[in-house]
């Protein structure tokens, strides 16, 4: 169950193009599981930026000098994320979390491949730790546009049996896409479950590769959200339910982790005509909330 917490910045450190914020988070640190996210308010109580920014939880410390803390990875590319990156120790940041459905963990010690695009890799290290604790094999594939945009290479090397790095420009690891690296990992290590987090295009490719080879996949999606708690209906995407019916589901409460074979990746950003309640099927289009 999520709660709202007046967090305090414990530290801000740079990591390549990104910033890692450690925030006090109280009990949230104890209930957070890999794949959960937090929604951070921007700019204080009178801020003109009303919408919370969602970040997957990179790490937690349950008990320390500061009580429970959570780590998030921020890429400063807009006014809100720049504000977060400019916080200093002792500043207040309002946190809501833990939110969403986390990754589900296999019961048996299976072979897992964890794929991260850019700072989408943020939640994979907590996941790797828990998979290892269950005796699972963990191989990691990290990809980005260039070396600066990779996140967590050292952590990956500490945790995973193998680490494959790909960059679009070849500035680190192998030039190419994460799917190139993933194909080799899957072939060499008998991958049974693929976990992925990153941009939609990457997730679509990873999910497709897994599904085609009969491998189970779980993808944490990045959809823009306004509330993060399930009330605003902005972060929807077309997902096929157990009954075979496609619905526009909220990535904040029904996700962010989805089974890769249930998301209609090619149709993200649209309402497929066979979606429940799609325009033209039942009544006219349009209408506001």
Partner 1 sequence: MTRAVIRDSLPKEQRSVAVVDMSANLAGLEMTSPILTASGCAAAGRELDQFFDITELGAVVTKSIMLEPRSGRPTPRMAETPSGMLNSIGLQGPGIASFVERDLVWLHQRGARTVVSIAGDSVEDYAKLAKILRMHEGVDAIEVNISCPNVADRGKVFACEANSASAVVQAVRRNTDSRIPIFAKLSPDVTDITSIAIACVRAGADGLSVINTLLGMVIDTDTMKPALAGVTGGLSGPAIRPVAVRCVWQIRQALPDVPILGMGGIRTGLDALQFILAGANAVSVGTVVFNDPTAPMRVHRELSEALASKGFRSLAEAVSYAHRSGDEIIVNEAEAPSDGDGADQDLDQM
- Which x/- pattern over 264-283 shows residues binding partner 1 (rule: CB under 8 A)? ----xxxx---xxxxx--xx
Site for partner 1 contains 286 (CB under 8 A): yes
Number of H helices, E strands in the chain: 6, 15
Of 26, 67, 106, 230, the one binding partner 1 by CB under 8 A: 230
Bridge-based pairing state of the strands 92-99 and 3-15 = antiparallel
Beta carbon of residue 181, minimum distance to partner 1 (angstroms, whole number): 29
The number of residues that bind partner 1 (CB under 8 A) is 45
Let me know: does 241 contact 231? Beta carbons within 8 Å.
no
Site for partner 1 contains 224 (CB under 8 A): yes
Beta carbon of residue 251, minimum distance to partner 1 (angstroms, whole number): 10
**Cβ density class 14-40: b for 16+ within 10 Å, e for less:** ebbbbbbbbbbbbebbebbbbbbbbbb
Name which of 133, 81, 140 is nearest 112 in CA terms: 140
Site for partner 1 contains 49 (CB under 8 A): yes
- Which x/- pattern over 51-90 shows residues binding partner 1 (rule: CB under 8 A)? xx--------------------------------------
Q: Please provide the size of the chain in residues.
A: 289
Site for partner 1 contains 285 (CB under 8 A): yes
Beta carbon of residue 254, minimum distance to partner 1 (angstroms, whole number): 12
Query: Cβ contacts of residue 55 below 8 Å, gap of 6+?
Result: 37, 38, 39, 40, 72, 73, 74, 122
Residue 234 burial (CB count, 10 A):
15
**Between 15 and 229, CB nearer to partner 1:** 229
Site for partner 1 contains 187 (CB under 8 A): no
Site for partner 1 contains 188 (CB under 8 A): no
The two three-digit tokens of residue 14, written as one number? 């740079």
Site for partner 1 contains 244 (CB under 8 A): no
What CA–CA distance (Å, rounded) separates 24 from 1? Answer: 18
Which range of residues in 6-14, 43-51, 112-120, 173-181 is near partner 1 by CB under 8 A? Answer: 43-51
Bridge-based pairing state of the strands 174-175 and 3-15 = unpaired
3-state secondary structure of 267: helix
Of 60, 236, 240, 257, the one binding partner 1 by CB under 8 A: 236
User: Which residues form the interface with partner 1 (CB under 8 A)?
Assistant: 1-4, 41, 48-52, 94, 96, 223-224, 226-227, 229-237, 247-248, 253, 268-271, 275-279, 282-289
């Amino acid at each position: 169950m999520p709660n709202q917490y007046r967090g305090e910045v414990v530290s801000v450190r740079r990591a390549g193009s990104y910033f890692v914020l450690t925030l006090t988070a109280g009990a949230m640190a104890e209930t957070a599981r890999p794949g959960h996210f937090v929604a951070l308010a921007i700019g204080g109580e009178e801020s003109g930026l009303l919408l919370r920014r969602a970040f997957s939880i990179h790490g937690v410390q349950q008990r320390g000098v500061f009580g429970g803390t959570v780590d998030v990875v921020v890429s400063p590319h807009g006014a809100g994320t720049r504000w977060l990156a400019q916080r200093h120790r002792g500043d207040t940041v309002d946190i809501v979390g833990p939110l969403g459905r986390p990754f589900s963990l296999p019961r048996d010690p299976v072979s897992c491949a964890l794929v991260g695009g850019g700072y989408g890799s943020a939640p994979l290290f907590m996941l790797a730790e828990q998979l290892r604790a269950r005796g699972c094999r963990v191989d990691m594939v990290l990809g980005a546009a260039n070396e600066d945009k990779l996140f967590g290479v050292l952590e990956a090397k500490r945790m995973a049996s193998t680490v494959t790095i790909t960059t679009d420009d070849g500035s680190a690891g192998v030039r190419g896409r994460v799917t190139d690296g993933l194909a080799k990992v899957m072939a060499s290590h008998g991958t049974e479950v693929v976990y992925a987090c990153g941009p939609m295009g990457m997730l679509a490719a990873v999910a497709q590769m897994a599904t085609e080879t009969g491998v189970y996949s779980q993808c944490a999606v990045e959809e823009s959200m306004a509330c993060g708690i399930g009330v605003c209906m902005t972060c929807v995407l077309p997902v096929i339910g157990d009954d075979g019916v496609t619905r526009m589901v909220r990535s904040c409460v029904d996700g962010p982790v989805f089974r890769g074979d249930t998301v209609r990746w090619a149709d993200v950003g649209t309402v497929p005509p066979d979606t429940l309640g799609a325009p033209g099927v039942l009544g006219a289009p349009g209408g506001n909330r």
